[in-house]
């Protein structure tokens, strides 16, 4: 499917990165590249980010105790560092989700009213 | 080193934390990039192109590094080096003229400092040596003697060697060094040399100024009577030795005795005040009398000063000051009379005594 939407505001992406990561990790433990690939697949490439920005966010979440990591992989093959969401991470995800839904709803209402006036 | 490793070096360059942590992060990012490259290669592009694309998608190494630094902090030394290199890139490439001016100025400073040390060694040090040995008859301080030996060795014994070594090192540097940092290295080396020469100059200045200050104080306050007495005694001993040597026709001993005689009378020859003291010492009672008269005169001058300056009433000053002045005048006249007529050949100008009698108007 061809991408025909304008690029997302990088600042907006940066602010929601923790929410995206935590919600993906709630599904299953994942490693960095898999998170990037899943986001790309789910959003058809709409969610634009530089892949390197994922790791500072992941490490920040890990140092805050919201995720845990573990190296995994066959000997001589590719080693991957899997991240798991913790209980604290789930609580943070719930807070962030509620906050995002409120914000999303509020912005949608504003946009609707603006469109009605137009 | 391949592109991935270079990229990871840049990401982790200023990253804080332990070595293990950095290796751990490198491995995680490396795995990500290699998986991305394999994905691109599977789509049919070359490895080089896939590597370039994977790095591009990963983002600027500085941004990733800064992001990780916000979690783990940064390494101070690497950061300082990076900032210095940034500064160099900004300033030195375009500012080669300034680097040339700075280098010339720096070596000018070095030359001026060396010239200053040379002047001190040639002109000032011998005077200090002479002052200690001939005038004060005491040993120079240890730090001064040590400095003198070191500086004399450097300027007389090793000066050509040091100069040759410096020129050879410089020529070698100019010939062999082809790096773009050459002006900065030259400037840095000049700064190190300038610092060393400045420290040496300060030390030589210290070794010069402190003895000068000390000897001038000694000379001003020195009681010359022991010096004059010791010089006379030493001269008498040397002369007795000389007499017996000549009588025995032992010319080597005579030469030694002459040397002793010369060293003994030098403090008297070179300081007129010492010779004068020798004369005055023959009449110690006159010296005491002169000092007594001077003390008396100083006391009366003080009285007159207090009378004039302490009492605010002009009529009281007018009545008391002439009386104090009269007292002072008497002392002055006694001093002039006794010193002039009985003690020495010092001629007190007649105008000076007349002036005091007429109240200061010539």
The string of pLDDT tens digits covering residues A12-32 is 777 788 999 999 999 999 999
Interface probe with B: pick from A14, A38, A52, most Cβ of B within 10 Å? A52
Size of interface A-B (CB pairs under 8 A): 61
In percent, how much of chain A has pLDDT > 90?
A: 55
Residues of chain B contacting A51 with CB distance shorter than 8 Å:
32, 36, 57-59
Judged by CB atoms closer than 8 Å, whether chains meet at A52 and B11 is answered as: yes
Measure in Å the smallest separation between the Cα of B67 and chain A Cα atoms: 5
pLDDT at B91: 66
Please give the Cα distance from B212 to B128 (Å, whole number): 7
Please give the Cα distance from B87 to B91 (Å, whole number): 6
Judged by CB atoms closer than 8 Å, whether chains meet at A80 and B57 is answered as: no
pLDDT at A97: 94
pLDDT at B362: 35
Give the residue among B32, B40, B41, B19 at the shortest CA–CA distance from B59. B32
Q: Which residues contact B123 (CB under 8 A, 6 or more apart)?
A: none
Judged by CB atoms closer than 8 Å, whether chains meet at A33 and B60 is answered as: no
Out of B35, B61, B68, closest to residue A78 by CB: B35
Within 10 angstroms of residue A98's Cβ, the number of other Cβ atoms is 10
Residues of chain A contacting B7 with CB distance shorter than 8 Å:
none
Q: Is A79 on the interface with B (CB under 8 A)?
A: yes
pLDDT at A84: 95
Q: Is A76 on the interface with B (CB under 8 A)?
A: no
Residues of chain B scoring pLDDT < 70: 1, 90-96, 134-135, 137, 180, 340-362
Out of A56, A78, A79, closest to residue B67 by CB: A56
Out of B11, B36, B61, closest to residue A33 by CB: B36
| Structural contact between residues B253 and B245, judged by C-beta atoms closer than 8 angstroms | yes
Residues of chain B contacting A78 with CB distance shorter than 8 Å:
31, 34-35
In percent, how much of chain A has pLDDT > 70?
A: 89
pLDDT at B353: 47
Average pLDDT in chain A: 86
Q: Which residue of A has its CA nearest to B21?
A: A59
Q: What is the mean pLDDT of residues A99-108?
A: 92
Measure in Å the smallest separation between the Cα of A93 and chain B Cα atoms: 20
Judged by CB atoms closer than 8 Å, whether chains meet at A52 and B64 is answered as: yes
Q: Is B362 helix (H, G, I), strand (E, B) or coil?
A: coil
Residues of chain A contacting B57 with CB distance shorter than 8 Å:
50-51
Residues of chain A contacting B67 with CB distance shorter than 8 Å:
52-53, 55-57
Q: Which residues contact B283 (CB under 8 A, 6 or more apart)?
A: B343
Measure in Å the smallest separation between the Cα of B19 and chain A Cα atoms: 16
Please give the C-alpha separations between residue B62 and each of A50, B11, B120, in angstroms, as whole numbers.
12, 6, 56
Judged by CB atoms closer than 8 Å, whether chains meet at A59 and B31 is answered as: no
pLDDT at B100: 79
ipTM: 0.86
End-to-end CA distance of chain B: 101
| Structural contact between residues B267 and B135, judged by C-beta atoms closer than 8 angstroms | yes
Interface probe with B: pick from A56, A65, A69, A81, most Cβ of B within 10 Å? A56
Q: Which residue has the tokens 């995994």?
A: A72
The CA-based diameter of chain A, rounded to the nearest angstrom, is 64
| Structural contact between residues A29 and A82, judged by C-beta atoms closer than 8 angstroms | yes
Please give the Cα distance from B25 to B31 (Å, whole number): 10
Measure in Å the smallest separation between the Cα of A75 and chain B Cα atoms: 14
Please report, to the nearest 10 degrees, the dihedral formed by the alpha carbons of residues B9, B14, B16, B22 taken in order.
0
End-to-end CA distance of chain A: 32
pLDDT at B209: 85
pLDDT at A20: 93
Half-sphere exposure of residue A92: CA atoms within 13 angstroms, side-chain side:
21
Q: Which residue of B has its CA nearest to A61?
A: B71
pLDDT at B139: 78
Q: Is A64 on the interface with B (CB under 8 A)?
A: no
Q: Band of the pLDDT at A83, cuts 50, 70, 90? A: very high
- Give the torsion sign (CA, A19, A20, A26, A32): negative
Please give the C-alpha separations between residue A105 and each of A9, A20, A45, in angstroms, as whole numbers.
19, 18, 24
> For B232-272, how does the pLDDT look when each residue is reduced to its tens digit (9 = 90+)?
888 889 889 988 989 998 888 988 989 888 888 877 777 77
* pTM tops 0.95: no
Better-predicted residue by pLDDT, A5 or B259: B259
| Structural contact between residues B173 and B88, judged by C-beta atoms closer than 8 angstroms | no
pLDDT at B93: 59
């Amino acid at each position: 499917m061809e991408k025909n939407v304008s690029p997302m505001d990088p600042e907006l992406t940066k602010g929601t990165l923790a929410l995206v990561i935590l919600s993906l990790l709630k599904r299953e433990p994942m490693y960095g590249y898999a998170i990037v690939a899943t986001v790309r697949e789910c959003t058809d490439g709409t969610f634009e980010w530089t892949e390197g920005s994922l790791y500072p966010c992941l490490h920040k979440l890990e140092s805050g105790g919201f995720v845990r990591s573990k190296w995994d992989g066959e000997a001589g093959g590719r080693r991957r560092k899997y991240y798991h969401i913790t209980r604290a991470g789930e609580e943070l995800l719930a807070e962030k989700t509620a906050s995002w839904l409120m914000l999303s709803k509020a912005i949608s209402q504003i946009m609707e009213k603006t469109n009605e006036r137009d | 080193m391949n592109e991935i490793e270079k990229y990871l070096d840049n990401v982790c360059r200023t990253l804080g934390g332990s070595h293990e942590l950095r290796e751990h992060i490198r491995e995680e990012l490396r795995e990500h990039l290699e998986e991305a490259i394999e994905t691109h290669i599977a789509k049919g592009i070359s490895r080089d192109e896939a590597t370039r694309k994977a790095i591009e998608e990963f983002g600027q190494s500085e941004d990733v590094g800064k992001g990780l630094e916000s979690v783990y902090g940064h390494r101070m030394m690497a950061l300082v080096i990076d900032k210095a290199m940034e500064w160099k890139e900004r300033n030195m490439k375009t500012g080669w003229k300034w680097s040339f001016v700075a280098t010339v100025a720096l070596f000018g400073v070095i030359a001026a400092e060396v010239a200053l040390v040379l002047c001190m060694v040639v002109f000032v040090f011998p005077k200090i040596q002479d002052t200690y040995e001939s005038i004060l008859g005491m040993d120079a301080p240890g730090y001064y003697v040590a400095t003198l030996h070191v500086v004399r060795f450097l300027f007389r014994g090793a000066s050509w060697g040091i100069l040759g070594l410096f020129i050879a090192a410089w020529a070698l540097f100019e010939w062999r060094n082809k790096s773009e940092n050459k002006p900065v290295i030259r400037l840095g080396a000049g700064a190190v040399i300038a610092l060393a020469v400045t420290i040496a100059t300060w030390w030589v200045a210290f070794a010069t100024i402190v003895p000068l200050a000390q000897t001038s104080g000694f000379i001003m306050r020195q009681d010359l009577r022991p010096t004059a007495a010791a010089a006379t005694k030493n001269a008498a001993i040397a002369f007795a030795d000389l007499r017996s040597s000549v009588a025995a026709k032992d010319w080597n001993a005579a030469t030694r005795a002459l040397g002793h005689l010369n060293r003994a009378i030098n403090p008297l020859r070179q300081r007129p005040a010492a010779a004068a003291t020798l004369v005055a010492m023959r009449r110690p009672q006159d010296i005491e009398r002169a000092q007594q008269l001077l003390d008396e005169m100083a006391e009366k001058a003080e009285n007159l000063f207090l009378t004039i300056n302490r009492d605010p009433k002009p009529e009281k000053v007018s009545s008391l000051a002439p009386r104090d002045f009269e007292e002072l005048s008497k002392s002055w006249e006694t001093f002039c009379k006794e010193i002039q007529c009985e003690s020495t050949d010092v001629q007190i100008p007649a105008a000076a005594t007349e002036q005091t009698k007429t109240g200061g108007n010539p």
